[in-house]
Chain A
Amino acid sequence: MLEIVLKMLFIVLVILGGMLPLITWVERKQSAVMQDRIGANRADLMGVTVLGLLHPVADVLKLFSKEDVVPTGANRTLHLLAPVVAIVPAIVTLAVIPFGGSYTFGGATLNLVVADVDWGIVFVFAVGGIATYGAVMAGWASNNNWSLLGSMRAAAQMVSYEVTMGFSIVGLFMIYETLQLPAMAAWQDDSFRLLGFIEYLLDIPLPAFLGWIRLPLWGVFLQPLGFVLFLVCIMAENKRPPFDAPEGESELVAGYHLEYSGMRFGLFYTAEFLEVPVIGCILTTLFFGGWSIPFLPQETIVGFIGAGFGEGFATGVCLVLHVLSFLMKVALMIWLQMALRWTLPRFRYDQVMDLCWKIILPLSIANVFVTGAIILWIETVMA
């Protein structure tokens, strides 16, 4: 029990307390760098601005001090409930994300995930499906036609992309042979010879120097198409640009959260921002080896440090390194999402749906069949 509470505390402190405020700053600063501006730097405390890092504090203070308006004719209960429904799924998803591996100290095993469940990735999809209701309820309960149009767009877009999101990583499940996120991360804690397949194709031993060209055994190298498709789908689920048709401020004023003010609007805003590191965690775990360090499997680290300092200390060091590696990869994934968000213009709404059903769905189904054929070939020819 205490263990679970401590892990939850870690997640709350690092993701909600650390990454979330930082991301609002990163969004401003990265967009500024990309657009050749200076970016947020004015919020100060007694003249100290620390690179604009005080802006998140100023934001929250501002939002809390604003009036909380419920429009006339709105459905009050649903209007008040919607922001909560929008943000809770993002937080709950973190329960199945492994932020470290499994470590044995003497007799006790420490597993750095809150809920190590058999059906981890299905849970992520299920919870993501619930997130749709936040936008749908908000738009409908506001009694405003712009909001309603926004929430209709959100409902159609999120349901469509959830279908293709599932299909796009079926190939990954076939390779990992598991749906358990910690097991997936542990599976990727290895590396492979990039040209190793030549041995089987040409039936000659690979020259030693070519055998040195190795890649980490990460999902992104095994399923590159799957990664691209999944990235597109999960960014569409997030409803941030270029997939922000449900908000579309040039057409729908502000879409589904048009009638929200103060901290309730802040909750929608926070939900979208919080989904960015959560998506980073999911991408890292599925495609970038989770907590693993490239070319340095856990046994190597523990064996190397353990030779001089004892195994317990070595495992502890390994734990810290793994958590840092995980957070670093998540930061990279956040950077990637921000870069895409500030590079691409918004899709027109029909283009969003066409992309989903006419391009991503056929490609991801083809990906499943090709992956299956290759696995079959490997199991029959290479064995």
Chain B
Amino acid sequence: MNEWIFYAFSAVAVAGALGMVSNVRNTVAAALSLVASMVSLGGIYVLLEAYLIGVLQILVYAGAIMVVFLFVVMLLNQRKDGFSAGRQWVMKTFGAVLGVAGAVGLVGLLPARFPEAAALPEGFGGYRALGVMLFTDYVLAFEVSSLLLLSAMVGAVILARRSAD
């Protein structure tokens, strides 16, 4: 049962990712495909018993970040400009090489057998375990990233004020 749910979510995730890449002309449709992909990723997290991460994936990525993305894309979609042809060629080549390399690496992994899954500790995937870890073992990383976000926020406000003057 779980396996079939996994395949369903994976199919949607892959289809969404492909839709995002292939919708070159239609940026809004590309962004919406990415949303579908992210929601299914959230489902896969839940299957892995990382419940909180799964829900946060939907809440933060699919729900909040992508809405802001769409907002920007819808504003800019009215303009018809893009990258110059030469730059597009460089980006496409680079992306194709990276994509093929990634695919080859993944296919190479296929024959490998996965080790037996380790037993999960008590409360795994819940907000309690995650909160305790964030504020004990990983407190430095947590605080540094929050500082980074704060500086980004202050920077955005300064930039917005400058252009208003």
Taking a contact as CB atoms under 8 Å apart, the answer to whether B32 and A129 are in contact is no
Q: What per-residue 1/0 map shows which CB atoms of A121-141 lie under 8 Å from chain B?
A: 011011111101100110010
Expressed in whole angstroms, the Cα–Cα distance for A350 and B83 within the complex equals 34
Taking a contact as CB atoms under 8 Å apart, the answer to whether B35 and A117 are in contact is no
Taking a contact as CB atoms under 8 Å apart, the answer to whether A136 and B51 are in contact is no
| A-side contacts of B135, CB under 8 Å | none
Taking a contact as CB atoms under 8 Å apart, the answer to whether A119 and B64 are in contact is no
Expressed in whole angstroms, the Cα–Cα distance for A127 and B29 within the complex equals 21
Expressed in whole angstroms, the Cα–Cα distance for A367 and B55 within the complex equals 25
Among the 9-residue stretches A158-166, A216-224, A299-307, the one with 4 or more Cβ atoms under 8 Å from chain B is: A158-166
Taking a contact as CB atoms under 8 Å apart, the answer to whether A155 and B71 are in contact is yes
Expressed in whole angstroms, the Cα–Cα distance for A158 and B70 within the complex equals 13
Taking a contact as CB atoms under 8 Å apart, the answer to whether B74 and A152 are in contact is yes
- How many of chain B's residues have a CB under 8 angstroms from any CB in A? 24
Interface of A is mostly: helix
| A-side contacts of B126, CB under 8 Å | 118-119
| A-side contacts of B68, CB under 8 Å | 155, 159
Least CB separation from A151: chain B residue: B74
Tell me if B89 is interfacial: C-beta within 8 Å of chain A. no
Q: How far is the CB of B132 from chain A (nearest CB, A)?
A: 14
- How many of chain A's residues have a CB under 8 angstroms from any CB in B? 28
Q: How far is the CB of B148 from chain A (nearest CB, A)?
A: 18
Q: Tell whether A152 pairs with B71 under 8 Å between CB atoms, given A119-B127, A130-B62, A137-B32.
A: yes
Taking a contact as CB atoms under 8 Å apart, the answer to whether A162 and B64 are in contact is yes
Tell me if B12 is interfacial: C-beta within 8 Å of chain A. no
Expressed in whole angstroms, the Cα–Cα distance for A119 and B74 within the complex equals 33
Taking a contact as CB atoms under 8 Å apart, the answer to whether B63 and A119 are in contact is no
Tell me if B47 is interfacial: C-beta within 8 Å of chain A. no
| B-side contacts of A371, CB under 8 Å | none
Contacts A117-B51, A130-B62, A133-B32 known; list 14 others, CB within 8 Å: A119-B126, A125-B59, A127-B58, A128-B63, A129-B63, A129-B64, A130-B39, A130-B63, A133-B35, A140-B28, A152-B74, A155-B68, A155-B74, A162-B63
User: Residues of B at under 8 Å CB distance from A?
Assistant: 26, 28-29, 32, 35, 39, 42, 51-52, 55-56, 58-59, 62-64, 67-68, 70-71, 74-75, 126-127
Some 20 contacts from A to B, beta carbons below 8 A apart, are A78-B32, A118-B126, A119-B127, A122-B56, A122-B59, A122-B127, A125-B59, A125-B63, A126-B42, A126-B62, A129-B62, A130-B63, A133-B35, A136-B74, A148-B74, A151-B74, A152-B75, A155-B70, A159-B71, A163-B64
